[in-house]
Amino acid sequence: MRPADRPVKTPIQDLKVGMFVQMPGGWTQHSFFRSKFLIKNDEQISKIARSGFSEVIVNPLRSHIKPERHKKPNYIPKPPKEHKPKFDLGPPLMPTGFSEFLSDTSIAPKRKAGHLYNVCLHVMEKVLSDPNMGNITQFKQGVSGIVDLLLADKETATQLFHLTSRDHYTFTHSINVGVMSIMLTKALYGESTPHDMQELSAAYFLHDIGKSKISDELLYSPETYTERERKVMEAHAVDGSELLTEANLQSVESKIILSQHHEREDGSGYPQGLQGDQIHIYSRICATADVFDALTSRRLFKPSLLLYDALLLMKYDKGLHLNKEVFSAFVQLFK
């Protein structure tokens, strides 16, 4: 290998779009879902700078442009461009100063997790109560900062994970499943997945958005559903995907998760009765978190199960419903 082709440590201020970089340290030391990647835009450079490192490794052979050696251009990463939608987003969804709150390292992890959970509940309630284009768009934008925090701040992520055990309302359930699914994806894939974690996480949080079309009377009914009512409830898997499509906010990840999160390994799920490898891994992840939260949450018509009892039931009684590899990784989250 020629000297010019060898990986070289490069100061943050010398990074450019087109360079293939390797982040220092392990998963928990930065907020990227992969440690090695091609820089595609200035926002990624700004995000690297915010990670706190003074330099990263640049691989010239995998870069689209060569790093300049022995020369330090006065490069200042451009601030991320503000997204300018073509429509009115409506009133702000996220609270004022939320981004600053997420990046404030002086806040204790337990306190940060508690406030973040409450913010998520408030925001999710608004989205599910009025799932219009503006609310969904703002929610997906806000999820980006939440995901960065969960991937980079292990202590806060752990504290937030422990908060996922409250009363079972639809928006509370959505937050619980979202947080657990993100943690489970991280446990399964580490830094190897090439997929869009922001879109994936938004889909986890919005997996039950189709229930916004169901009346509260039916949604919170303590009575056993009739056949007709059961079909109305099960339609939320399709309705949610259609809702995002109508709002022009459908992604590959949301299409998979919203339509498949109630499919089961043995083919007993809905709406398509998929089985085994016909079910995408993203949906298997969401389904595992979804079942656990349903078992451990208090509902009008059933008491909640203790953690150990819920995991035991998931292993034996629902063992044919869930993917074994995904469930095994889920159990490890509690150790």
Q: Which residues are catalytic?
A: 211
Q: Which of 148, 135, 207, 221 is nearest to 175 (CA)?
A: 207
Backbone angles phi, psi at 274, to 5 degrees: -65, 160
Q: Based on the number of CB atoms within 10 Å of its own CB, is 43 exposed (0-12), middle (13-18) or buried (19 or more)?
A: middle
CB 121 within 8 A of CB 172: yes
Helix axes 236-246, 227-234, angle to 10 degrees: 40
Dump the DSSP string for 37-69. Answer: EE--SHHHHHHHHHTT-SEEEE-GGG-SSPPPT
| Those residues with Cβ within 8 angstroms of residue 153's Cβ, 6 or more apart along the chain or in another chain | 109, 112
Q: What angle do CA 174, 179, 219 make, to 5 degrees?
A: 10
Question: What is the spatial distance between Cα 147 and Cα 129, in angstroms, rounded to a whole number?
Answer: 23
